[in-house]
Amino acid sequence: MINGAVVASVIGAGTTYTVTVNTGVGNGTLRLDIPASAGIADLAGVSLTGLPYAGGETYDILKERRVYLSMVVR
């Protein structure tokens, strides 16, 4: 399970935006959902339509797991 994932930045214009996400800790699947209550509007104040949105691509996050072994040298 992924914990602590947050949107770090949103950059773009028009119809294309890049959303950068800090993936938090753990392994799992991420998808960008936008709830109906989101207060997203353009510069003219027109609200985003078609909400809630939950149909985007999913991304499987599998983080490397490091294992440390002790070693005895004689």
C-alpha closest to that of 53 among 30, 32, 29: 32
C-alpha closest to that of 21 among 50, 57, 66, 47: 57
**pLDDT single digits (tens) 15-33:** 888 999 999 999 999 998 9
How far is residue 38 from each of residues 50, 52, 57, 58, 69, measured CA to CA in Å?
11, 8, 19, 20, 47
If you average pLDDT over every residue of the chain, what do you get? Answer: 88
- 14: confidence class by pLDDT, cuts 50, 70, 90: confident
| pTM as predicted | 0.64
In the numeric block, the tokens 């890049």 are attached to: 18
C-alpha closest to that of 23 among 31, 14, 33, 11: 31
pLDDT (average), residues 31-53: 90
